[in-house]
Structure 1
Amino acid sequence: MLTGDPDDNVAQLLWRHARRHPDRPCLTDLDSPEGARTLSYGELTARVAGLAGGLRDAGIRAGDRVAVLLRNSVEFVETFLAVAAVGAVVVPFNVRLREDDFRHMLVDSGSRLLVTEAGHLDAAPTLREVPGLRVVLVDTDGGLDPLRAGPIDEPAEPPEGGLLSLMYTSGTTGAPKAVMLTHRSWRAVAATAMSVLGFASDDVVLHVAPLTHGAGFMLLPTLAAGGHNLLCGSYDAARTARLLHSAKVTGLFLVPSMIRMFLDELDEDWQIREGFRWLYYAGSPIDQSTLREATAAFDGHVVQSFAQMESPMFLTVLDSADHLRALRNPDSPVIRSAGRVLPGVELSIVDPDGTPLPPGSDGEVVARAPQMMAGYWGRAKETAATLADGWLHTGDIGHLDEDGYLHVVDRLKDMIVTGGSNVYAREVEEVLLTISRIGDAAVIGTPDRIWGEAVTAVLVPDGRPPADDQIIEACRRKLPGYRIPKRIIWVAELPRNAYGKILKRELRERYSTPGR
């Protein structure tokens, strides 16, 4: 159970266990350049306190933004916690984005400091030119050590409003927008995770998904429980299968595409280790056969949740009992649901006027939860629309069944979730329409065994259509890899309604079967 004031600085979770159990292992970087590197709670707290002191001496004050462009590593965790400890704001970057995305986020957030690696800066050299920005490279010139100074004694009070992080998501016009999450939001996610997943002091939690995304929300509950975090710089399915045994892992977060890769790597005689407690997944749709295979492979220790970054990780949960029920009865509607609403969460299905709908009726999913965002950074109009009447308007269409299970059936927002990452169709369409001999374009998500949804371009040629590989190459010059279409379909015309709007739901239904 998470104790303390819900508005306390989240870094207090580290300090608390350093006082109680200074020698307990806290963090192991399995991919550190010098080999696997373990820090105890006492050691990590001392390093974070020194780095926080250095940030303070460098002029970083409460509310200042510090951007972090790093893979999973000791340096990422130290920076995150040190920024939190001085009351500043962490701005974690998805390493898969492009230079123009990073530059936009640095300027939009007004970040004063960027902590990154030389390789990222080599690929995005103009980041050095952002006015007022200091760049610190963790893999050269002593890494973070030149920033360290006299340590702080205790984490500072959070800034006014309690802001802890700006989490950038794709914007509908292509420009990423920042979700403002407070210390209270992060602590609420940690408390829910501890309740749902049963965190304990002997937990060994393996982080193979990026800490900049959903996996990062599993760091704090592990610290709160006094558990041990294992970090991998990147995901390797076969290695993960080995680590679950050799490192005596008790908990693991994956997105569905990673689960599919993991299952495809398993030997026939592989079995989950006794003592493993949970595989938790979220972030994108999951293929039903993958869900059943994962439930069998992990002996039922599987939990799914539904939410979005605006209210992270937990609105509904499909627990291990639900997964086992779906395994026993493949025809059960539970397997197609997103689970039941959690205690402390209010969730409703509403019509376009905001009127609640009865069970079985489709409408927009709206919710209120303790972890809900404070708003979008610098976007008052979008904040007001998304948080209208105090409810988070998710943009998802769904219904609640008679047993209280949520079924998500469509989206109001034109967004694709592929491999746990959001892709707004409009930005891909805008790139496609700049390519010669493409007359019209619609981008949709279609079911995919590995990625959950595949970015699919439905195109109308203008004359002789260009070759598919030409289209992919043109997209590669302007889009990150995960936003590039994985499937291209040519049609004579796109279906439209009387107002000229493309009927994407019709396209999704038409092309939901592979090969169509």
Structure 2
Amino acid sequence: MRLTDYLDKGASLDPAAPCLSMGGESLSYRAVQDLSWQVGRALARSGVRPGDKVAILSGNDPLSFGCVFGIGRAGAVWCPVNPRNEAAENSELLDLFDCTCLLVQESFAPLVARILPQLPKLTTVVCLDGSMPGAVTFSEWLDGAGVEPWQAEPPDDMVMLVGTGGTTGHPKAVMLSGRNVETMSALTLMSYPFAGRPRYLALAPLTHAAGVLCFPVLTLGGEIVVMPSPDLGEFLALVERRGITHTFLPPTLIYLLLDNPALADRDLSSLQCLWYGAAPMSATKLAEAITRIGPVFGQLFGQSEAPMMVSTLAPADHVHTDGSLARERFTSAGRPTPLTQVAIMSDSGDLLPPGERGEIVVRGSLVMLGYYKNPGATAEASAHGWHHTGDIGYLDKDDYLYIVDRAKDMIITGGFNVYSAEVEQALMTHPAVRDCAVIGLPHDKWGEQITAVVQLHTDKTTVADELRAAVKQRLGSVKTPKEILIWPDLPRSTVGKVLKTEIRARLVGENG
């Protein structure tokens, strides 16, 4: 399936039904189809050929997301660009993607002015909602482009180029195919509850997980309710007011949701599935969330190179048949999905039996085509015929997948391997801890010293010795941090992930 096929499938069910909504206004499926045909023709008229790369730089916005389908009509490749990135990173990504056209909101005019001189391949810039120097306005650009059905034939199956993020060095561009998105969508529909026509609330950036989850919703003729900014009070109000059935939140926002005083007063009974993923989730916080919100939480595990659905833990898998919480599964990432093979591999390329820890590897139609213009990185990621995720984990006897750490985050202290995620889970059981990060710092005696940085709830106080004692009781002395620092906040990426690289750099700098 092409990206446009998801829109057209939903339109075939009811072209007048709301497709993309924000602030009480909606675009019907037919209106989004008309937009897509106009944008597709305008792209072709601007010199965009099938297979060319077109980027969108925008906050969460129905018009901007509707343009994705126009890119598909032109047979071009959608390049989502994170609007929260710094100018240098977005410039690097647009150059890496070989983008020839950029669709951008007026609010990003200063950023575009800084990066445009560095991007000679970028020949067309379109301002979606106003005007800016060096850009044509959206209305002028569309003028004369008809709304009759039209589709250019793409040269291959690549539909998306996704940047991996530059927090550990230069970003790579992941080539995703129509087959990848189709597999992800099929796995979503078969793995989670969908009763009736869904209403999906997109609070998280549509450039990331929240965006690709739109495609399976569209196949059911569902409505996508877009939030322009992550306001959790408004999020709760919208779930109640609009009868939202599905949504996605990263763990950090779920923690904030649990602290929101409005939570207790809102009716969230319409929710069928609240997806969580993109970062480890505290088992303690998950139990609290299920108790207070309901058994609607569905975990997903994936990465840009194998989007979203490597393994899943459906809402029903979070509870036993008697209604009690299945706490023993809360630290797992669920089971591998039906259309995906998942295994654990040693450093030498051998597949390991249940219970043994190694790198999580994946193969199947969910896995990317490769890294754009980077055959070396593609070969490295696909060694031994499997895609290498870079995550360390194991499969238990019941085929539940446990992710214990990123390979680069494993700490070797006194000759012992310590997985930072395990220590973080132990810290998160303390009621005063809101979030935390555990890293290894160089140490003359131990090789690496386990160091924790902790953010407390605003109304809580504790001391490092109390936290250290709590971890020691759970995990023993070897895995207990030698140093625990309490910070008012933790550095995060634009999608809410804690940046251990920044924490490490700061602490190494402070220690000389």
Query: 1:396-433: per-residue Cα shift (whole Å, max 9, x none)?
Result: 111111111111112224599xxxxxxxxxxxxxxxxx
Change (3 A) 1:347 1:154: same
Aligned to 2:57: 69
Aligned to 2:472: none
Letter in 1 for 2:2: N
Aligned to 2:120: 131
Runs of 5+ unmatched residues, structure 1? 1-7, 31-35, 417-443, 461-471, 495-516
Letter in 2 for 1:302: F
**CA–CA separation in structure 1 for the residues paired with 2:410 and 2:495:** 16
Change (3 A) 1:167 1:39: same
**CA–CA separation in structure 2 for the residues paired with 1:300 and 1:92:** 33
Change (3 A) 1:313 1:272: farther
CA contact (8 A) 1:170 1:176 kept: yes
Aligned to 1:83: 71
CA contact (8 A) 1:286 1:452 kept: no
Aligned to 2:130: 140
Aligned to 2:154: 158
Aligned to 1:27: 20
1:451-466 equivalence runs, <5 A: 454=437, 458=441
Change (3 A) 1:480 1:335: closer
**CA–CA separation in structure 2 for the residues paired with 1:480 and 1:224:** 26
**CA–CA separation in structure 1 for the residues paired with 2:307 and 2:403:** 17
Name which of structure 1's ranges 354-363 and 144-153 shifts more when overlaid on structure 2: 144-153
The answer on 1:244 being equivalent to 2:255 is no
**CA–CA separation in structure 1 for the residues paired with 2:164 and 2:434:** 18
Aligned to 1:208: 203
Aligned to 1:371: 366
SS of residue matched to 2:298: strand
CA contact (8 A) 1:190 1:221 kept: yes
CA contact (8 A) 1:345 1:370 kept: yes
Aligned to 1:11: 4
1:321-340 equivalence runs, <5 A: 321-325=316-320, 332-340=327-335
**CA–CA separation in structure 2 for the residues paired with 1:287 and 1:326:** 23
Letter in 2 for 1:72: N
CA contact (8 A) 1:68 1:114 kept: yes
C-alpha displacement at 1:152, in angstroms?
A: 5.2
1:248-259 equivalence runs, <5 A: 248-259=243-254
**CA–CA separation in structure 2 for the residues paired with 1:181 and 1:43:** 27
**CA–CA separation in structure 1 for the residues paired with 2:167 and 2:233:** 36
**CA–CA separation in structure 2 for the residues paired with 1:361 and 1:169:** 28
1:45-444 equivalence runs, <5 A: 45-129=33-117, 130-133=119-122, 134-141=124-131, 143-148=137-142, 149-151=145-147, 153-160=149-156, 162-171=157-166, 174-267=169-262, 269-270=264-265, 272-325=267-320, 332-413=327-408
Letter in 2 for 1:81: F
**CA–CA separation in structure 1 for the residues paired with 2:333 and 2:258:** 21
C-alpha displacement at 1:329, in angstroms?
A: 6.5
CA contact (8 A) 2:34 2:148 kept: no
SS of residue matched to 1:11: helix
C-alpha displacement at 1:451, in angstroms?
A: 8.2
Aligned to 1:501: none
CA contact (8 A) 1:364 1:397 kept: yes
Letter in 1 for 2:332: S
Letter in 2 for 1:147: W
C-alpha displacement at 1:96, in angstroms?
A: 1.6
C-alpha displacement at 1:258, in angstroms?
A: 1.0
Change (3 A) 1:390 1:249: same
TM-score relative to the length of structure 2: 0.78
CA contact (8 A) 1:29 1:37 kept: yes
C-alpha displacement at 1:20, in angstroms?
A: 4.0
Change (3 A) 1:459 1:42: same
Letter in 2 for 1:153: P
SS of residue matched to 2:2: coil
C-alpha displacement at 1:123, in angstroms?
A: 3.5
**CA–CA separation in structure 2 for the residues paired with 1:281 and 1:54:** 37
**CA–CA separation in structure 2 for the residues paired with 1:275 and 1:330:** 21
SS of residue matched to 2:344: strand
Change (3 A) 1:143 1:226: farther
Change (3 A) 1:347 1:128: same
TM-score relative to the length of structure 1: 0.78
**CA–CA separation in structure 1 for the residues paired with 2:319 and 2:34:** 44
Query: 1:282-308: per-residue Cα shift (whole Å, max 9, x none)?
Result: 100011221112212331011001111
SS of residue matched to 1:373: coil
CA contact (8 A) 2:202 2:227 kept: yes
**CA–CA separation in structure 1 for the residues paired with 2:36 and 2:121:** 24
Change (3 A) 1:185 1:391: same
Runs of 5+ unmatched residues, structure 2? 412-419, 444-486
Aligned to 1:497: none
SS of residue matched to 1:112: strand
CA contact (8 A) 2:35 2:67 kept: no
Report the aligned-residue RMSD.
3.2
SS of residue matched to 1:128: helix
